[in-house]
Amino acid sequence: MTDNNRKTGDNRKTGPNRNKRKAAILGLGLDAADGHTRLTRGDNFVLFGGSEETHKSMQETVVKLNEELDRRRKRLEDVPPRDLEKMFREIVGS
């Protein structure tokens, strides 16, 4: 914290990295009945739970999403929510 931040109680980051946005996808599977705990992490996602089939589906979806982001030369945090929704709908076929 800089001296100025200490005086004001401001805990926000300062410097060249203060405006960098981060985004991540959180996938939750709620249909596991086999007692397994499934967890998959990536640079921009965390997938937790689900049956084997559900977890595999979530994995395939985030892989395809990241492939599409790479194709568009975009980062997750650079895509507006509506565009992200369209991408998800195209991937899952809804």
Contact yes or no for 64/92 (Cβ under 8 A): no
pLDDT in tens, 2-54: 444 444 454 555 666 666 789 999 999 999 999 999 999 999 999 999 999 99
Q: Where are the alpha helices (DSSP H) in 1-94?
A: 3-8, 52-72, 81-92
43 Cβ contact list (under 8 Å, min separation 6): none
Q: What is the pTM of this model?
A: 0.76
